[in-house]
Each structure stands twice: as C-alpha cells, then as structure tokens.
Structure 1
Amino acid sequence: MSDLPGTQASYWIESTSRDPIGSAPAQRTVDVAVIGAGMVGLTAADLLKKAGSTVAVIEMHGVAEGVSGYTTAKISAGQGTRYSSLTSKYDEETARAYAASNTAALEYLAALVEAEGVDCEFARKDNYVFAASDEEVSSVEREAEAAAAAGLATELVSTTPLPFDVPLALRQRNQAQFHPRKYLLHLARNIDGDGSFILENTRATGVSDGSPCRIETTDGDVTARDVIVATQLPFLDRGLFFARAHPYREHVVTVRVPGSAVPDGMFISAGSPTRSVRSTPYGDGALLIVSGEKHKTGAELRTDECYRRLQEWAEQHFEVLGHEYRWSAQDYYPVDALPYIGKLNRMTQHLYTATGFAAWGMTNGTLAAMLLSDAILGRENPWASLYDSNRINPIRSATAFVKENVKVAGHFVGDRLSKEGADSTDDLAPGEAAVVGGGGTPVAAYRDPGGLLHAVSARCTHMGCLVKWNHGERSWDCPCHGSRFAPDGTVLNGPAARPLESQDVGG
C-alpha cells in the first residue's frame, strides 16, 4: 500500500459537479456523432451545433472525466522547447505555422470565455521556459531563437517569479491557464438540447463508415452523417495510429501554499527530468500544480516513486503547507512531432480523428476541433495540410517510428517467450499484484486491501501484449500501445475497446 500523502484523484474532477447532463432521447439520428467528451470532442461539438448541426456526444465515462480531466490545463503557444525541435526536424516555415495555429486556438478559447461569461478561472499568465541548471542554458537560448523566428514575442530573462534562482529563462507574455472541467461542462450544457444530446457512461464499440454512418454503443446505436473519433488515440485501428503515436505517462502532484507564496506565471524546465509548475486558487491560498516524471506507459512499475520525487521537489523549492491531490495523465507523441488531425484514413469519407498532442492537449485539442469542424462544414482552413492525419513523412518520422515499434515488437514477441511470472496467487499480500504463470495463459492477479483476489487475463485485448502492474495507480498497463485496465479488467484507457476477461484461479 502507498504511504504517499494526499488523495489519489484529479483536483479538476473532485472540485466540480458530476451530475449527468441531459438524458438519452429516443431519436438517435444526428448530423454529426462525436465519440469522446474531452477537449477535442466537446469543442468540435459546440462549434458544429453553433453552425446549425445536430450533434451526439458519446462518452465512456462522464463529461471531461477522461484525459481532459487529468491535465495541468495550460493554454499556450509556448510549449517547452517545441520550436527548436520543430525547426531542427522541419524548418522555420513549419514552426511558424505551428505557432500561428496554436496562437489562434488560444485566442479562440479566450474569446469564447469572454463572450459567454464562462466561469472557469481563466487567467492570462506569462509562460516561462527555465534552465534548471547551467547545462540547460543553451537549450533555452536555442528555443528563444527558434521561437522568435516562428513569430512569437519572447524575451530572455535572468529572473523569474519562482522562489529560487535560475540561470536563464525564456518568457512569453499573455498565455493562459484555466479550470478545464468547468470550461468543458459549460460547453456540454451548450450542446445538450434542440436535437443534440450527450450519452455519458456509454462505450462506443464499433463504427461503420457509410451514408449514414452507424455507431454501435453499449446503449444502442446512433446514426450520423459524419463521425469524429476523439478518444485520444482512436479505438478504431483503421488508421494505424497506434504505430504512429506512442504513449507516455506523466505525473502530477498538488501542494497547498500560502497566497503570498504563489509564483505569478506558468513554468516548465528546459531539460530532463521535466518540472512544470502552475497555480490555481484554493481556499484562502492556492494549490501549486507540479508535474513531471515522464515515462513510457508500462515501463515504470513503481509510479508511487514518481509521485514521491515530485512531492520532495515541491517541498525543497516552495513553502508547502500540505499535500492535497495527485494524479497522472497519458499523452501520445507522434513519430514526426506534429499532431494528426483529419480523416481516419485515406479511404474513409465521413470518419475523422485527432491524436498525438504530445502533452499540450488543451491548445492542440482546441485547434483540432477547429480543423475538424471546418472540414465537416466544408470550410477551408490554412493549417489543414500541416496536420493532415494521413500525411507521409518517411524521413522525419523514420527514426522514431523504428525505435518505438521495435520496443512494441519486443514486448509482443518477448512476452510470449518469457517464462517470468509468479507461480501462484497464494503469496500475494493485500495490495500486491503479479502476473501469474507464463507462456500462453498468463493471469493478471491483484489482491485488494480487503484481501479479495481479482484475476483477469494478462493479455491486452487490443493486440495481445502482456500487461504490467502499475503500483502507484493500481492498474494494469499495456506497454505496447497504452491501453490501461482496472484490477477487475474494466478499460480505463484505449485503444483497447474490450475489458480483460475474468479468470478463475481460486484464492
């Protein structure tokens, strides 16, 4: 059992209502069906409804209780050392287009908040990329040069609002932060009604591309002219995105600090390990939201130690009054460094998707919704070709593609040959888990704190890789494509669409 202080839960979800929105209508034919009620799905649905379309949103959890409920919620065109990376991999023109499109997404969101009076703690903040040591100074300098060439107004500074010295930082003014779930709940309430509706706690299990399209769900079928699959990574494998975008997890802790100790701004380190910091109002003080400890999904089994390192870093650098919440988030990183936004594949006529936001989903998710809604409404968009989901960049993506998929192949083959695993569930103490047996019939077994044994198949239902136990979050994680499962086999994250099957092992 973990002895970490604080609650294992997202502050964004815990601080907002979880009451259902609307009710399922008898008539389930709409213009556009959106699978996923996160940043992409709800923003696109809101845009489409405002343009006169009827929309159905289908969500396996509650509204904004998936990945968008586990973000750090920065809205910024400045994204760590993104522009030096893009300029190196592509050119200045690509970096300029990325900067312009992300700035447009930020300003769209800001304008919507102001026009509709959205109570979501939206606040303009300066964004800082800081060197945590002298060794990171050159990275900050390169990013400053690349960001300026990309058209962003930035400046190098030697002091920041952080309570510790840094050798150098890059400041970009007038970026933003917000409470993501308050914002998304507002969009959801806008969407529901007048022929549009939201189905919560409903899993989409299949989609057929046709005229109309048919979406099979656990609560009956929905038909629509067009479909947006906004499930972080498409649960439909037709676009092979699982081979072109790879899953990483990052951890978040929140610490309570006095109002007088809150650094004014948003901050992210230039090097590794990453340390990202922002604040949010909390009682008569504030919460500092500290994130980092990025790792490949399924590769770090003691994720409780990731949380511990973040908590210790916060205590070393800030006046911490207490530890409140901790959570983790999953992000997909594209092999050629740009998000995929557009048609599900080259053959589909009415299926759209977006993925690969590389940990900047609030800004890129808004951008994706703008692009997808324009595509469905037949509008030209100047950035559509940049993010084309079916683009082919063999030179720019080859190294990352081979590296990541060799790892996947290693798991896929190695797991079947390995004889590692516990011999029996008998020795599992409360709170412990293990893969029992090897070869063709491994079982993922977890004994909960009350002593009850949960046993499920250890083969991921997406492509059959062997799942790994995530100690800090008490989940079975697939190291191949990022699917995650609860101890009872329930799907927590796709692309897997089916739960792990229950196994009878006694105990």
Structure 2
Amino acid sequence: MFRDGARKSMWQEEIKRFSADENINEKNFDVIIVGGGITGVSTALELQKRGKKCLLIEASNIGFGTTGGTTAHLNTFFDTTFDEAINDFGEDQAKLLANVGTEAIEIIQENISQYQIDCDFEKKIGYIFALDEKQNNKLEKMVEAAEKVGINMKFCNGVSFPVSFVSVASVSDQAQFHPIKYIKKLAEVFISLGGSILEDCTCISHSEEENSITVETSKGNFNAENLVYATHIPPGVNVLHLMAAPYRSYVIAFEIENNKYSEELMYDLYDPYRYYRTHVVNDQKLLIAGGEDHKTGHEEDTGICFSNLENYVRKYFNVGAAVYSWSSQYYEPVDGMPYIGKLPGSKGNIYAATGFRGNGMIFGTISSKVISDLITENKNKYKKLFDPGRIKPVAGFTSFVKENTTSATDFIKDKLFKEKISSLAELNDGEAKVVKYEGGSYAIYKETEGKTHVLKSTCPHTYCDVRWNSAEKSWDCPCHGSRFAINGKLLNAPSTDGLQRIYFNENEDKENI
C-alpha cells in the first residue's frame, strides 16, 4: 500500500495495493463516494447495504491518506474536550457528542464480528496525564465535564508512567485496531455486495442539477443522485476551506526494550499533546508515540519535529531502534466540532465529512451512519450538531480565487534561464528550495542522483506559494493543505491538479503524474 508521504507507516506492511476494478462500464449510480479512507469505505459499505448502488473513487489507493497514517486510537473522549463542548454548544449537545465514541466503537465491533475481520482490535483503558499544575487544572475541568455528559473519566492512583506527572485520570472502554486490515475487509465486503471501486481515479470537479450530479474524473464522467466527499477536505474551492485548517502530526514506532510499558492508551496534556500505545507488527511489539503537531506548511524544518519527538521519548522511555516514522494530515474545525452532512452551497445532494481533528477513526466511522441516514431518511440525531452549514461564510468568500484545473507544462529553451535558476538554487543532492526569478516563483528539488525537478511554486488551488516539507519530501501548501510530490504530482486535496512542471527541452522524460 502506498501513502501520501516519503516515510513508511507501520500499517503499510499489510497490503501494497487494493485489488479494484480497472474499468467501470456503468456510468450511473445512486451514490458516488470520493475518498478511500475509513470514512469513504465505511460510508460506501453502509449505503450499499441499504440498497444503494455505489461507486467509490480514490485518487491513489485505499488507505492512501490519513487512514494509512493514523495511530488508530479509538476514544470516547476527543480533542475538543467536553467542558469546551458544554461552553460552546450547551450541555445537551455535549451529551450528544458523548454518545459518538461509544456508538462508533460499537459499529466497528459489529463489523468485525459480522465480517470476521482480523484487525488486532483490543479494548483498552485510556490514561490522561497532567504533567504540571496548569495541565492538572485542565484535567480537573475535563473530569468534571465528563461526569456531566456520562463519560466514565475519573482520577486514579498507582498508574505507571515514565514521565513525572501531577495527576492522572482513567477512561474505560477505549480501544485500538489495525486500520488498514479493517478497511481492506470492508472494501472486499462492499464489492461482494455489488459496489464498485476505482483506484488511481482523481475527482476533478462536479456539476449539480436539481436531482442529478455529474462527476468529472480522470477516468471519465459518472452520474449519481448523491455525491459524498469523504476526503481531507472537499476538492476544488468550497467555503469549508475557510472553516478548517490543515495540520500535520508526527509518529515514531520504537522497539521496546524488554517489552516494558503499559499495554493501555496514554496521553499527556502538553500543547500539542503527545500520545502513546503499543502494537505488535511482524511478531514485534512496538511503542507508538505521536505528537509535535503544527499547521501544514508552517514549519520550516519538518525533520526537527521527528527529532524533537524522538529525543523526548528517549529521555523518558527505555526504547530501542525507531523502526517506523511518518507524519499524517488532519483538519482542525474553527469551532472544534467536525463537519458531517450536506455541503454548504450545494442543492442538498452533496455531502462532506471533514474537520475531525485527531479523532479521525471515530468521526470517520460515525460519518458512515450520519451520511447514510441523511441520504436514505433525511434525518439523524447528530444532524444539527455536525451540520457543516452551522458556520456561515466569512465576508469576502465570493471573491475567493477560483481554482485553475488546467494541467500545464512549460518548455523553456532559454539557456540563461536554466543557468540562473540553478545558480539561485545552489542545491546539494536531496535538497529543495523556492526561488524567485523575473517575477516568477519556482519550487526546485535535486534528487540524490542529480536529476533536478523544477516546478511553478504556485498551488493551483488558490495560488498560495508551496513550502518544502523535508521530512516527507513533499511541497505543502500553507493555506489549505494541498500537497504535492517532488515531480508535482498531487498528493492531497483540495487542489485537483498538480504543480506546473518546467522542462528545459522537449526530450526530457514527461512521465504521467
């Protein structure tokens, strides 16, 4: 299985690529689902079970995005704490939110049981550690609010944790699993029920009539009554891009010396918080540690994030080699609550699910129930709480720059231009830089064997300049989170097109990207 970064996650050992249909002769469907992570696969299966004829399209391969880069904690508490939810949405809505984790874990367990999925699912206790008095004050508010909404979070004693802490609270009925083993089986069941999957199929755009939607893709046009964007953020230009900000989180999986450390789920309250759990891969137990989150494209040296995380873990934990290290992307909603439901600005037949913060496995799973209910029954108990339309567009959205969806390549034969670009960059092998020249901005990367990639540095989405991500060897947009490979290939929406490439003669390799 491939994913959206140069670094390999521990879940990629499971599959290289999902075996999906190469060509779909049928053009008309009840529902088209865009995105092959846990949200898209779970939603496609649920709708197919309800008698809908579904097509799932994925720009790369199943599990390519966040699902292939998650740490797969399954929680009944969230990054938006219950005291924050009570303050912002009221106690009744906070109590409704408290149902989500339990219901999502039940859905996962039901699927595991019904379809006999071997995905390393385990129930766990979660422990939240306050490392100083400020964090302790926050934990006290969390415990008090959890009691109000019916979540069993309580202070406890006698818990082992190598980092010095002031207090700790436990939360029962948490869980963990192997996300790729899980969605791989769901995808197989989806196909067995008559569903269709197209991998390596990019959703370029959609056009919506009153009762029908035409979806333009890299493999042709398809028609549907309903469209679901189960992506990081809906591709193209949409108001949700102003309501959710992209973030990256970093993960390292270490060999555990003498198999020490708790088998449970552990979290501190540092900002951004760090989180830990164990998992057995290839008969080897590993400690998975995550943290060092920052806004996408806003960290000059992303490699330092891995270094900081590793140094912190090694300072307190007795661990061996770092076997895997990777980063992953998620979106922060402006008010702390995910957006699951009808897409703002649509005629009511297009749906979106995004803004999950660090709780993607839970909110992705509950999205399958929410969206399926809205499509088949036009109601769901979480409809109001997660309604993407609850946030109104900010002033100026109508002048939001439209996306350029035209793939382009420039052929430049000017020897002076090539020499000047090379001179401005002055790159060693494996280095990258954005340089300005004669009013243009260029993203340049030099491979270890000396081949140089020159791209226009302007993201096609809304024309922000991309920035180099040294850890994942990608060009990341700091505005809305689009990401691109060294050759300009699109890795993550909302852009629907890659970066414009520059060739210095027409005989250079112009591989399809």
CA distance 1:234–1:43, change in 2 (3 Å)? same
Tell me, in whole angstroms, the C-alpha distance in 1 between the residues paired with 2:256 and 2:149.
36
Q: Following TM superposition, where does structure 1 have runs of at least 4 consecutive aligned residues deviating by more than 4 angstroms? A: none
Partner of 1:495: 494
Tell me, in whole angstroms, the C-alpha distance in 1 between the residues paired with 2:438 and 2:84.
42
Partner of 1:418: none
Structure 2: runs of 5 or more not aligned: 1-5, 402-418, 509-513
Alpha-carbon offset, residue 103 of structure 1: 2.0
CA distance 1:17–1:445, change in 2 (3 Å)? closer
Alpha-carbon offset, residue 193 of structure 1: 4.2
Does 1:456 find its partner at 2:443? no
Partner of 1:220: 220
Partner of 1:64: 63
Tell me, in whole angstroms, the C-alpha distance in 1 between the residues paired with 2:385 and 2:438.
45
Alignment identity in percent? 32
CA distance 1:41–1:458, change in 2 (3 Å)? same
Alpha-carbon offset, residue 80 of structure 1: 4.7
- Secondary structure of 1:237's aligned partner: coil
CA distance 1:439–1:95, change in 2 (3 Å)? farther
Alpha-carbon offset, residue 24 of structure 1: 2.6
Partner of 1:435: 434
Alpha-carbon offset, residue 303 of structure 1: 0.9
Tell me, in whole angstroms, the C-alpha distance in 2 between the residues paired with 1:331 and 1:89.
22
Contact kept, 8 Å, 1:80 with 1:129, in 2: the verdict is no
Question: Mapping of 1:348-367 within 5 angstroms?
Answer: 348-367=347-366
Partner of 1:425: 422
More divergent stretch after superposition (13-22 vs 250-259): 13-22
* Amino acid across the alignment from 2:234: P
Partner of 2:278: 279
- Secondary structure of 1:386's aligned partner: helix
Alpha-carbon offset, residue 423 of structure 1: 6.6
Tell me, in whole angstroms, the C-alpha distance in 2 between the residues paired with 1:439 and 1:498.
25
Partner of 1:15: 14
Contact kept, 8 Å, 1:46 with 1:191, in 2: the verdict is yes
Contact kept, 8 Å, 2:128 with 2:268, in 1: the verdict is yes
Partner of 2:336: 337
CA distance 1:177–1:198, change in 2 (3 Å)? same
More divergent stretch after superposition (448-457 vs 90-99): 90-99
CA distance 1:128–1:439, change in 2 (3 Å)? farther
Partner of 1:94: 93
Partner of 2:409: none
- Secondary structure of 1:94's aligned partner: helix
Tell me, in whole angstroms, the C-alpha distance in 2 between the residues paired with 1:43 and 1:306.
32
- Residue by residue over 1:168-207, the C-alpha shift from the partner in whole angstroms, topping out at 9 and shown as x without a partner, is 1121111111000110001110111454210001111111
Partner of 2:372: 373
Partner of 1:264: 263
Contact kept, 8 Å, 1:130 with 1:168, in 2: the verdict is yes
Partner of 1:128: 127
Contact kept, 8 Å, 2:79 with 2:358, in 1: the verdict is no
Question: Mapping of 1:148-167 within 5 angstroms?
Answer: 148-167=147-166
Partner of 1:236: 236
- Secondary structure of 2:51's aligned partner: coil
Alpha-carbon offset, residue 81 of structure 1: 6.0
Contact kept, 8 Å, 2:214 with 2:221, in 1: the verdict is yes
- Secondary structure of 2:220's aligned partner: coil
Tell me, in whole angstroms, the C-alpha distance in 1 between the residues paired with 2:477 and 2:96.
35
More divergent stretch after superposition (378-387 vs 486-495): 378-387
Contact kept, 8 Å, 1:129 with 1:269, in 2: the verdict is yes
Alpha-carbon offset, residue 221 of structure 1: 1.6
Contact kept, 8 Å, 1:434 with 1:469, in 2: the verdict is yes
Alpha-carbon offset, residue 141 of structure 1: 0.9
Partner of 1:141: 140
- Secondary structure of 2:383's aligned partner: coil
Tell me, in whole angstroms, the C-alpha distance in 2 between the residues paired with 1:333 and 1:24.
36
Tell me, in whole angstroms, the C-alpha distance in 1 between the residues paired with 2:258 and 2:42.
33
Alpha-carbon offset, residue 280 of structure 1: 0.7
Question: Mapping of 1:138-217 within 5 angstroms?
Answer: 138-193=137-192, 195-210=194-209, 211-217=211-217
- Secondary structure of 2:386's aligned partner: coil
Tell me, in whole angstroms, the C-alpha distance in 2 between the residues paired with 1:347 and 1:275.
38
Alpha-carbon offset, residue 505 of structure 1: 5.9
Over the aligned positions, Cα root-mean-square deviation in angstroms equals 2.3
More divergent stretch after superposition (269-278 vs 65-74): 269-278
CA distance 1:150–1:504, change in 2 (3 Å)? same
CA distance 1:90–1:378, change in 2 (3 Å)? closer
Question: Mapping of 1:102-113 within 5 angstroms?
Answer: 102-113=101-112
Structure 1: runs of 5 or more not aligned: 1-6, 395-400, 410-421
Tell me, in whole angstroms, the C-alpha distance in 2 between the residues paired with 1:267 and 1:137.
16
Contact kept, 8 Å, 2:18 with 2:184, in 1: the verdict is no
Does 1:469 find its partner at 2:468? yes
Contact kept, 8 Å, 1:40 with 1:230, in 2: the verdict is yes
- Secondary structure of 1:149's aligned partner: helix
TM-score (norm 2): 0.88
* Amino acid across the alignment from 1:467: V
Contact kept, 8 Å, 2:482 with 2:492, in 1: the verdict is yes
- Residue by residue over 1:304-354, the C-alpha shift from the partner in whole angstroms, topping out at 9 and shown as x without a partner, is 110011111222222212111111111111111111111112442311111
Tell me, in whole angstroms, the C-alpha distance in 2 between the residues paired with 1:145 and 1:224.
47
CA distance 1:259–1:149, change in 2 (3 Å)? farther
Tell me, in whole angstroms, the C-alpha distance in 1 between the residues paired with 2:159 and 2:420.
55
Alpha-carbon offset, residue 393 of structure 1: 6.8
Contact kept, 8 Å, 1:163 with 1:263, in 2: the verdict is no
Alpha-carbon offset, residue 114 of structure 1: 2.0
More divergent stretch after superposition (487-496 vs 212-221): 212-221
Tell me, in whole angstroms, the C-alpha distance in 2 between the residues paired with 1:88 and 1:505.
58
Alpha-carbon offset, residue 107 of structure 1: 1.5
- Secondary structure of 1:371's aligned partner: helix
Contact kept, 8 Å, 1:431 with 1:446, in 2: the verdict is yes
Tell me, in whole angstroms, the C-alpha distance in 2 between the residues paired with 1:250 and 1:109.
24
Partner of 1:315: 314
CA distance 1:132–1:484, change in 2 (3 Å)? same
More divergent stretch after superposition (318-327 vs 452-461): 318-327
- Secondary structure of 2:224's aligned partner: strand
CA distance 1:95–1:338, change in 2 (3 Å)? same
Tell me, in whole angstroms, the C-alpha distance in 2 between the residues paired with 1:187 and 1:102.
20
* Amino acid across the alignment from 1:100: N
- Residue by residue over 1:461-494, the C-alpha shift from the partner in whole angstroms, topping out at 9 and shown as x without a partner, is 1000111111111111111111111111111111
Alpha-carbon offset, residue 295 of structure 1: 0.7
